Structure 1
Amino acid sequence: MLFPFHKLFLLTLLLINCKTTPLTTITKLPHDLKEASAIEKLAGSNLLWTIEDAGNKNHIYGFDLHGNLKKSIEISNVKNKDWEDLTSDQHGSLYIGDFGNNKKKRESFFIYKVSDFENDKSSAEKIEFILPKKTKSKDFESFFLLKDHFYIFSKENKKTLVFKVPNSIGKHTAVLIDEFKFDKQLKKITSAAISDDEQTIVLLNHDRVMKISNFKNDDFFKGSLEVLKFKHDTQKEGLCFKNNHTVYITDEREKSEGGKLYEFNIN
């Protein structure tokens, strides 16, 4: 599907600035978590929360800023087909994006809502979505929640498609709302987050983030775009806001590299 305003997207690329900013290491992630694929700061919790992706347990994990694992909660009524990202709401519920699709054969995708963090086992409410007719199956690794809708970004080399799904238990057909073509500064999106004041969006890749601001409603890519590089290239797949000006980032552990929690100033 091609939208009449796509030509404007090419113009927005001309407005992108690129700069390099230091990435600060906070701590090592808990040793048992080799493939941390997300990070989320949760209202009402003093822990940071993460998951592991396909082939790992259907658990959510809470750890402190010293890298100590404090919580391991089994989500007992769902399987970890390919958990890829986390987001949350202002009421303290956590949402797991089970929408990884490396082989691009999935027809149904899920978002699991978790609200009980007191026990070693919890159950999730299920939000299922399918893609619009005539849309080829996509791989997803990133999403966030804004005004009671999820915004889900496809992971592709040359562009990203943005789908919108309501935060409502049940089955839905996602709505394709946007398509953004990358230039040489941008790459596959591995995580996404929006600030608590809903004024800034960040999209993660292994060695950079794209910061989006001054957007209206969900016309994200018509806002101001800025690429912020790290000079640090690892398999970064987790991103969330610490506050409106700073983000937390995690990467997967590969031999002696990665497996850490970082802090990054986006201003």
Structure 2
Amino acid sequence: MIRKGLVTSTLILIAIAFVLTVFSIYSLFSIKTVTVDPKLREISGIEFDKRKRLWAINDSGDGPILYMLNKDGSIAREVTVSNAKNVDWEDMTQNQFGHFFLGDFGNNNNDRRWLTIYKIENPIDIKTDTTEAEIIKFTYPQMGDGEIKPEDKNYDLEAFVEYKRNLYLFTKNRTKPFDGITKLYKVGDHAANFNAEFIGEFKTCTTLEKLCWITSAAISPNRKKLVLLDSTSLWLFENFEGDKFFSGDVSRIDLGIVTQKEAVTFYDDNTLVFTDEEFKGLVGGNVYEVKLDQVKRNVIKYAQQKDRKTTAK
């Protein structure tokens, strides 16, 4: 009887796991809009130009190239940044004037002491297939000069936004043991050498580092919503005070099955677009769309009313 009970329980658990997996897959692919050109198999940053056309960049291994996408995901145009290198391009953002910022600040081993951001005009204003960038350099004075201890390895970077003439950087945590904290730093938005200023921190989760790593960030056109992306979730921050982005309301949006989600941006104040990298031709390489007024949000924190419901739409 005991063995029969164990077999029955095991079968029930397998069935539940299967149903949850199917639902997780459906949750992600139900919001897919298009598959991108295979040339962008390591897509790491996206942004819309003034005409709402989507531009993308690849991770390290590609040249210093921006790609404009057609609505079917094919490549319509390429622009090379002639005075740039793609050591490890990880994200894109733009300011309210339409300038694009390209983050060459991937730091997997936490051994790059000086990191780079390239600032270019809005691609709509680039008339040829090349452009030159304004170069922003920064370092973390907190790193010091010696070898970084495993518990301090929180200087990798894959996410940033522009806000009120400054660039805000969200680290990709590589601490051992993993503590799930992304740190927020600030640098200027113009050509100079900066010491990154520490602003605050936020803990996503500690379940598994690859599920909790922050891989991209976006700020809404009206500058009232901030989003951070990881492999399973969008973290939405609203009603924050100034650049204290973690001070307001925080909610989490479940994105279903785990894929290597690497880039997010706002299409408008209510619409988010994100992408994932292709994995061995099996999954990923897609563009997805989320409407904030239609998606379920799991509320993590309300800044003012702590007695409100824990879930909302």
What TM-score bracket applies, with the shorter chain setting the length? 0.7 to 0.9
Q: Which has the higher contact order (CA 8 A, sep 6+)?
A: 1
1:79 aligns with 2:95: no
Q: Residue 213 of structure 2 corresponds to which residue in structure 1?
A: 188
Q: Deviations over 1:92-144 (max 9, x none)?
A: 22110010011110000111011152211111110111112445571000000
Counterpart-to-counterpart distance in 2, 1:259 and 1:54: 16
Q: Is 2:93–2:160's contact at 8 Å kept on the other side of the alignment? A: yes
1:143 aligns with 2:149: no
Question: Counterparts in 2 of 1:46-195, with a 5 A limit?
Answer: 46-115=52-121, 117-134=126-143, 138-156=155-173, 157=178, 158-184=180-206, 187-195=212-220
Aligned partner (choices 218, 223, 238) of residue 243 of structure 2: 218
Counterpart-to-counterpart distance in 1, 2:110 and 2:67: 28
In structure 1, runs of 5+ residues without a counterpart are 1-19
Q: Is 2:52–2:267's contact at 8 Å kept on the other side of the alignment? A: no
1:252 aligns with 2:304: no
Which residue identity lines up with residue 241 of structure 1 in the other structure?
F
Q: Is 1:22–1:264's contact at 8 Å kept on the other side of the alignment? A: no
Shift of 1:218: 1.2
1:27 aligns with 2:34: yes
Q: Residue 10 of structure 1 corresponds to which residue in structure 2?
A: none
Counterpart-to-counterpart distance in 2, 1:181 and 1:239: 19
Q: Deviations over 1:52-98 (max 9, x none)?
A: 11111110111122212111111111110100000012222211001
Q: Is 2:47–2:56's contact at 8 Å kept on the other side of the alignment? A: yes
Aligned partner (choices 38, 43, 48) of residue 36 of structure 1: 43
Q: Residue 17 of structure 1 corresponds to which residue in structure 2?
A: none
Counterpart-to-counterpart distance in 2, 1:260 and 1:195: 22
Counterpart-to-counterpart distance in 2, 1:46 and 1:179: 32
Shift of 1:45: 3.2
- Corresponding residue pairs, total: 247
SS at match of 2:246: helix
Counterpart-to-counterpart distance in 2, 1:211 and 1:263: 15
Q: Name which one, 1 or 2, has greater alpha-carbon Rg.
A: 2
Higher normalized helix content (fraction of residues): 2
Shift of 1:234: 0.8
Q: Is 2:134–2:190's contact at 8 Å kept on the other side of the alignment? A: no
Q: Is 1:140–1:154's contact at 8 Å kept on the other side of the alignment? A: yes
Shift of 1:153: 0.4
Q: Deviations over 1:13-55 (max 9, x none)?
A: xxxxxxx99441111112221110111112x234211111111
Counterpart-to-counterpart distance in 1, 2:76 and 2:205: 41
Q: Is 1:37–1:51's contact at 8 Å kept on the other side of the alignment? A: yes
- Root mean square deviation, CA, Å: 1.8
Counterpart-to-counterpart distance in 2, 1:46 and 1:209: 22
In structure 2, runs of 5+ residues without a counterpart are 1-23, 294-313
Q: Deviations over 1:206-231 (max 9, x none)?
A: 11111111111011112111111011
